[in-house]
Structure 1
Amino acid sequence: MNPGSGRLESLDVLRGFDLFCLTILCPLLWAFYDTGHYSWLQPVMQQFSHVQWAGFALWDLVMPLFMFMAGVSVPFAFGKYLKAGEGYGKIYKRIFRRVIVLWILGMVCQGNLFALDINVLKLFSNTLQAIAVGYLISAVIYLHCRPKGQIFVTVGLLAIYWALLTFVSVDGYGGGDYTAQGNLAEWVDRVVLGRWRDGACLDESGKVIFLQWYDYTWILSSLNFGATVMTGVFAGEILKSRLDSSAKWRWLFGIGTAMVAIGWLWGLQMPVIKRIWTSSMVLVSSGYCFWLMGLFYYLIDYKGYRKGWTWLKVIGMNSILAYVLSAEVGVISFSCIGHSVFWGMRQYIGSDFYHLLILTINIGFVYSLLYVLYRHKIFLKA
């Protein structure tokens, strides 16, 4: 840890790395690729695209890593609250406030809350809301269970989700069906969320129509959102423990390797599918997260290579704001600045390169804003 800061510096940098990939690297890569559809870039772009259904690509790790890191911070934050003598009432007030803020921001990021139109309102359809649910579940487990109990409950969440999708069958859904339109989690979302689900609309007669292109699930998958955040809690407990520093990164790599192996092995029966957040996917993605956490901890907090990471900490220490302002989410766009200054360039460089230029300006403006906040030690948190 950075002396005197009370923060795990490697966590801030890793969070910044995750948000850098989401808000800067991926949008710029795709914009550049679109300028010429360069064949040599195709293998790279495949890793910066979500797998259509079963399987796992680099880009599928962004959301689990975000959730994992929310879990890593739990032992540090809650340990501080408990050490200060805060009662459960005050701690739960903090928890629910964060959950509510994340939930509302999730609705804003999804683009339906600001529309002020109840017909397009979606209740549960965003990464921030998944983090909110996972954080709530993990907070309850952490506060009321000892470490062994936490492991038992987390394994139970994975097992319950697996059992429900494998053995429960309702209205032709489930019973071991892991297809996009036949899994049990899909049925639960349709029944519980109905018209308020993303990818749903009403026809002229008022009947709810579920569009085939949307196959993400949220309600039943929340069990494994909690399990994902809990894997981060376990990493946080290792990092917060009195273990020798060299033992910490070794444990992180070792546990990560075991989780990846077990996850892919489990995937032979329950496929690794991010869109419905299968139990095998939780283990695979969390295993990779353990590797990344181990690597960043090894380099920064163990070996002491702390210089040169500021550009990532600028993003990581204001991660929620970076997410909300990112081109990927687009709650607020600063592209009008680029259009105002360079609007005449399109005719000379073509539409694709013009889009790349405007995107670069937009990203540069957002990063500059984050940098100013970082320099003034202003960090917006949920």
Structure 2
Amino acid sequence: MQRLRSLDLLRGFDLFMLVAFCPLLMKFPPQAEWLVAIKSQFTHCSWEGFTAWDLVMPLFMFMSGVTIPFALTKYKNQAKGVFAWRIAKRVALLWVFGMVVQGNLLSLDPSQWKLFSNTLQAIAVGYAFSAIFFLNFSARTNYLIAASLLLLYWALMALGGDYSQAGNYAESVDRAVLGGFRDGAQWTEDGGVEFSPWYFYTWIISSLTFVVTVMSGMLAGDFLKNSAASGNGKAARLALAGVAAVAAGWIWGLWLPVIKPIWTSSMVMVSSGYSLLLLALFYWLADVKGWYKWIDWLRIYGTNSILAYVVSQLGLFRGTARVLLHGLEQYTGDYYPFILELGSVSIVFALLYIMFKNSKFLRV
């Protein structure tokens, strides 16, 4: 089966929202009621609930899973060492990139490093286990593994505390294990740790559900690759699965709240459901109907997604945009921050476009 165009398009859509659309939207100054309502959907929920912006990270992880059956099937009949080296290298690179983006690795000061705090590291964990499960177990077994991990997370959280920001079990584990190497934490002069009162994202116990998020994409990719159904049939089944997952997630949320910062099992069901719906839509448009020319530019982001993410998160070209555009401040008033952001976004797009046209891709 040929590479699915929809994979690159959907990944490009996700990265475009992350590195271009949302930054520009938030810098756009008019505060009309309709615009404020739109902006509210591109802001993370403070705790319980789910917005459009909360889907960006899970969708990125879901798409990393979709690629597994297409990229790794050939390793099923090869020596385990070849596969192990490939996975270890990918995990190491994603971990380092994550620390560069959010872990203060480039400060060269170990006391400032944050060991586990970034989307790329969550992908690394989810990808590693999902790839192992894919190569060693059947699809039916992997469904059981995914369900078991979701239930294990629920059991740990239910037995370990409540679902408040300070009282949940995942929070206590992160503080105990990561200490001053946790994002938002600082070492004190006496060697203790001071935890930020505003940071409540968790990573260690949440790794159980990170894996399931990637696995949900892996199972969807396996279905697309191996199902004998027609293109329309595949799109319809993905959409039905998406509706069922969203409904199940919100119902489960009556007992286990939908909370993205701690990656609850119900949130995984909701976000994976929405991701399935988007995959069904993009697959039907691009690979079934061939109606993709009007969105084909999204592949510029999608084929170099890791580079787009790292460059944008580091803000490497904001200074360049300021140098080039600072003279416009006197004429543009409140719109100047938007113009600066537009300049930075445009430079990133130009870089990705040049690499796309020359078939240069950052492979991780």
Report the TM-score when normalising by structure 1.
Answer: 0.93
**Is 1:373 aligned to 2:355, yes or no?**
yes
**Is 1:166 aligned to 2:129, yes or no?**
no
SS at match of 2:335: helix
**Is 1:143 aligned to 2:135, yes or no?**
yes
**Is 1:55 aligned to 2:41, yes or no?**
no
Give me the whole-angstrom Cα distance separating, in 2, the residues matched to 1:45 and 1:256. Answer: 25
SS at match of 1:114: helix
Give me the whole-angstrom Cα distance separating, in 1, the residues matched to 2:119 and 2:299. Answer: 21
SS at match of 1:209: strand
Number of aligned positions between the proteins: 363
Give me the whole-angstrom Cα distance separating, in 2, the residues matched to 1:100 and 1:231. Answer: 23
SS at match of 1:243: coil
Which residue identity lines up with residue 191 of structure 1 in the other structure?
A
Give me the whole-angstrom Cα distance separating, in 2, the residues matched to 1:154 and 1:304. Answer: 33
Provide the residue aligned with 1:340 in structure 2.
Answer: 323
Provide the residue aligned with 1:281 in structure 2.
Answer: 267
Give me the whole-angstrom Cα distance separating, in 1, the residues matched to 2:346 and 2:357. Answer: 16
SS at match of 2:186: strand
Provide the residue aligned with 1:95 in structure 2.
Answer: 87
Provide the residue aligned with 2:254 in structure 1.
Answer: 268
TM-superposition CA deviations, 1:245-278 (whole Å, max 9, x none)? 1221111011111111111000000000000000
Give me the whole-angstrom Cα distance separating, in 1, the residues matched to 2:264 and 2:181. Answer: 23
RMSD, aligned CA:
1.2
Provide the residue aligned with 2:298 in structure 1.
Answer: 312
TM-superposition CA deviations, 1:213-236 (whole Å, max 9, x none)? 000000000000001100001110
Matches within 5 A, 1:125-144: 125-144=117-136
Provide the residue aligned with 2:345 in structure 1.
Answer: 363
Provide the residue aligned with 1:120 in structure 2.
Answer: 112
Provide the residue aligned with 1:108 in structure 2.
Answer: 100
Select the residue among 186, 191, 194 that pairs with 1:209: 194
**Is 1:228 aligned to 2:228, yes or no?**
no
* Cα displacement (A) at 1:111: 5.0
Identity %: 50
Provide the residue aligned with 1:7 in structure 2.
Answer: 3
**Is 1:39 aligned to 2:33, yes or no?**
yes
Select the residue among 2, 14, 20 that pairs with 1:18: 14
* Cα displacement (A) at 1:306: 3.1
Give me the whole-angstrom Cα distance separating, in 2, the residues matched to 1:277 and 1:332. Answer: 27
Give me the whole-angstrom Cα distance separating, in 1, the residues matched to 2:188 and 2:31. Answer: 38
Give me the whole-angstrom Cα distance separating, in 2, the residues matched to 1:40 and 1:283. Answer: 30
Give me the whole-angstrom Cα distance separating, in 1, the residues matched to 2:250 and 2:138. Answer: 29
Give me the whole-angstrom Cα distance separating, in 1, the residues matched to 2:194 and 2:320. Answer: 39
Provide the residue aligned with 1:29 in structure 2.
Answer: 25
**Is 1:183 aligned to 2:168, yes or no?**
yes
Give me the whole-angstrom Cα distance separating, in 2, the residues matched to 1:88 and 1:243. Answer: 32
**Is 1:80 aligned to 2:63, yes or no?**
no
Give me the whole-angstrom Cα distance separating, in 2, the residues matched to 1:272 and 1:128. Answer: 22
Give me the whole-angstrom Cα distance separating, in 2, the residues matched to 1:209 and 1:182. Answer: 17
Give me the whole-angstrom Cα distance separating, in 1, the residues matched to 2:289 and 2:303. Answer: 22
TM-superposition CA deviations, 1:329-349 (whole Å, max 9, x none)? 1x2521233322332222232
Higher helix share: 2
**Is 1:195 aligned to 2:168, yes or no?**
no
Give me the whole-angstrom Cα distance separating, in 2, the residues matched to 1:273 and 1:8. Answer: 32
For structure 2, the residue ranges without an aligned partner over 5 or more in a row are none
Which stretch shifts more, 277-286 or 202-211? 202-211
* Cα displacement (A) at 1:296: 0.4
SS at match of 2:67: helix
Q: Structure 1 residues 219 and 361 mapped into 2: Cα distance closer, same or farther (>3 Å)?
A: same
